[in-house]
A and B are shown apart, each in its own frame.
Chain A
């Protein structure tokens, strides 16, 4: 594999892994504090899945010469993270957390689905392995999104407001990379543009069913920057908090 290809794969892996780690971390903040015991358990399972998936991708990075997964995850500063800004936003209330989960997980499922056929076999293997987890996540997201979107006036209004708040950030998940052509050309990944089209097609029926309206497309302003290390001021405290113990004695095995 030539250097350009390796760099492109690393970039892809970093953005995916960072997305998964940060959203898993955010979602884990609900553990023990969820709206009802049963949902608390389900949401925590999915947060664990996300962090586990992130770890699997950091392992691939490690095989490509990057540092150990723990070091990569717990010793970088916020501006070295490549996650989209969507996932770093604070949880807000359960409406925002659910809307984000719905929007993110559809994209995540499609991304892994495409990667299951990637010419980069190690990633294809991970993608095939997580298929079942993602199916549950998306089923969970769809069910909650549709039910709360259409339940009563308060829940509808809350879900619509959360949706409006999340929308441009969600579009930011598909920030094009400088390596799009290479990744597509070598059959590694289908590219962000295709992914976004599929994503829109997949989420639209549920959005309609939920009675939620999508902002008109001329107002869309995707929030880019996360992929190249530009973040909201929410990420830095998150990363500091996450690595507080790890950094307390970096020479230690925890």
Chain B
């Protein structure tokens, strides 16, 4: 039995030569993605993952792992496997021809017309 400097360890009566079965797959449960809202009015932001056996516990864990210093007012948790993820390899899918200024504010310049019109008075 380990006689430790840590009284907690000594009390646990641990055999120094203990061997255990390796942890099996899913021993640590599956993962949930955690989203926090810092304050009302903000977007929820992804902050990380927790391993949890169900959604309530994912919330219980997510609150303390990512919000224990009081930095959130609301949490979402969602199973990792339920998130559809786009591929970085396809990042050119986000490229689009730059000539679409009809949907940008900067695509509309009316002052020229107004000034020309005013000169015509």
Contact = CB atoms under 8 A, between A and B. Distances in A.
Given A36-B28, A90-B11, A45 B57 contact: no
Interface string B38-65: 0000000000001111101100110111
Interface of B: 7-8, 11-12, 28-29, 50-54, 56-57, 60-61, 63-65, 68
B102 to A, nearest CB: 50
A247 to B, nearest CB: 15
Nearest to A136: B63
Nearest to B58: A38
Which residue among B52, B53, B60, B64 has the maximum number of chain A CB atoms within 10 Å of its CB? Answer: B64
Given A37-B51, A38-B51, A29 B61 contact: no
Contacts, number: 39
A41 B28 contact: no
Give the secondary structure class of A's interface. Answer: helix
Given A37-B51, A38-B50, A38-B65, A143 B8 contact: no
A143 B65 contact: no
A229 to B, nearest CB: 24
Interface of A: 29, 33, 36-39, 41-42, 45, 90, 136, 139-140, 143-144, 147, 241
A45 B8 contact: no
Contacts of A41: 61, 64-65, 68
Contacts of A36: 28-29, 51
B70 to A, nearest CB: 10
B60 A241 contact: no
Contact of A33 (B8, B29, B50, B65): B8
B8 A42 contact: no
A42 B7 contact: no
Contacts of A39: 61
